[in-house]
Chain A
Amino acid sequence: MSRNVPSRSAGAQTFPSFEVSLLSSDLAVRDALARILRELDPLSLDIEETGTVELVLAEVLNNIVEHAYPTEAGGGQIRVFCQPAQDGLHVRITDCGAAMPEGHLPLGRAVEVDVDFSELPEGGFGWFLIQDLAKDVEYARVGEQNRLSMRLPVGIPA
């Protein structure tokens, strides 16, 4: 492949990567999601794609706030690095909180909805939504750092 200058019409190809960082708290997650969606504005994602990005990243960040940094009231640093590419939005999220239980990703099974009223699930939706909507989800514990990477199939040129 020769080093052609990417054409302007290729959108995602020329779109720059960006990083958003936050200190772990529920409200900071809200703010970070808004910043990420603003950065993605030039990609002109449709409403379903925007929903995918917002929902998956909300679940990932909420999990970090709740489980990786459970005792750090507004303390733990989280970084979200986004790289738009031809095959979607590549995202890497890092934090220095507690490792995933047993060192690997939860399975993200669908919750059981055909159950008695009193047994209806009030949680357990998060990892299912992440695994359902994101591709190539990978987790590694590197030293004191959690590294989660994934590809969101959005903004793919037709």
Chain B
Amino acid sequence: MEISAKTEEQLRIVSVQDARIDAACAIEFKDAMRSETDGGPDVVVLDLSRVEFIDSSGLGAIVAAMKHMGADRKLALAGLTPKVERVFQLTRMDSVFSVFPTLDGALEELGN
């Protein structure tokens, strides 16, 4: 599981580099998210534009990452590809996160 992060203004962008967040890498993903979000800005945008597939373990790991950040901070999702978006819609977890079609759109809305 490879993720990269950069801090821009008052928010942090975390980009998943792998094509899948699934049972084989869900724990690794959670750990990587912890180290990228702990002690950072309150707003984190998770860029999922390279991710083509998530299963329920991957979905659970994203929820766990948000809960680990705490209720006072915000984890937004950006760039969901069709199969990933469908998993969020089917489980209604799209109502739990702020979801943006593109990373640029998310930055425009959440930045400054």
Contacts and interface: CB of A to CB of B under 8 A. Distances in A.
A29 B60 CA distance: 18
The B interface, classified by DSSP as helix, strand, loop or mixed, is helix
Interface string A50-65: 1100110011001001
A118 to B, nearest CB: 7
A124 to B, nearest CB: 8
Contact of B60 (A30, A48, A122): A122
Given A27-B24, A48-B82, A58 B95 contact: no
A59 B82 CA distance: 18
Interface residues of A, number: 30
Given A27-B24, A55-B83, A58-B55, A132 B90 contact: yes
Given A29-B24, A48-B82, A48-B86, A125 B59 contact: yes
B24 A126 contact: no
A142 interface: no
Interface residues of B, number: 26
A131 B16 CA distance: 29
Given A59-B55, A59-B56, A113-B95, A129 B24 contact: no
17 contacts: A27-B24, A29-B23, A30-B20, A30-B24, A47-B83, A62-B57, A66-B23, A111-B91, A113-B91, A120-B66, A120-B96, A123-B57, A123-B60, A125-B56, A128-B91, A129-B56, A133-B90
